[in-house]
A = this chain, B = another copy of it.
Amino acid sequence: MAPDATTNDSTAETGVSIGEASARTGVSADALRYYERIGVLAPVPRDAGGRRRYDAATIGMIDFVRRLRSTGMGVEDVAAYAGLVRRGEGTVAERRAVLERHRDHVAAQVEALAEVLSVLDRKIGHYADVEKGAALDCDD
């Protein structure tokens, strides 16, 4: 059986290109290079030609970074967390603390959004009322 269509080389060219990593994670290639520069990602290994190769673990990390970013964690904070991950086992408690703080932050966001959601629903309902019986209109 052929082992793998993309890796049948003895010099084990492993991982995927930056384009592929971008496609898989939804993070732009520019952003990936930027993340590496500022330390959100550890220096990514290169192939013979100096091109980046992203392994599965790194892809996973990028995906997690994307989630953190999407919930409003600043790139510096993400870089700090990533630094802990890189420093290894001794930082587990600290990593947990960082994530717990961020979880609380996200939970607060959800609450705040839910509140706005209810305000929107009230307002939409009000508009709907005005549209039907265009009468008992107050102001907004």
Q: Which of chain B's residues has its CB closest to A57's CB?
A: B139
Using C-beta atoms within 8 Å of the partner chain, give the interface range for chain A.
35 or more
Within 8 A of B (CB), among A67-97: 67-68, 70-71, 85, 89, 92-93, 95-96
Complex interface: chain B residues within 8 A of A139 (CB)? 57
Instruction: Evaluate whether A116 and B67 lie within 8 angstroms (CB atoms) in the complex, with A93-B131, A96-B124, A140-B60 already known.
Output: yes
Q: Which residues of A are interface residues toward B (Cβ below 8 A)?
A: 57, 60-61, 64, 67-68, 70-71, 85, 89, 92-93, 95-96, 99-100, 102-103, 106-107, 109-110, 112-114, 116-117, 119-121, 123-124, 127-128, 130-131, 134, 137, 139-140
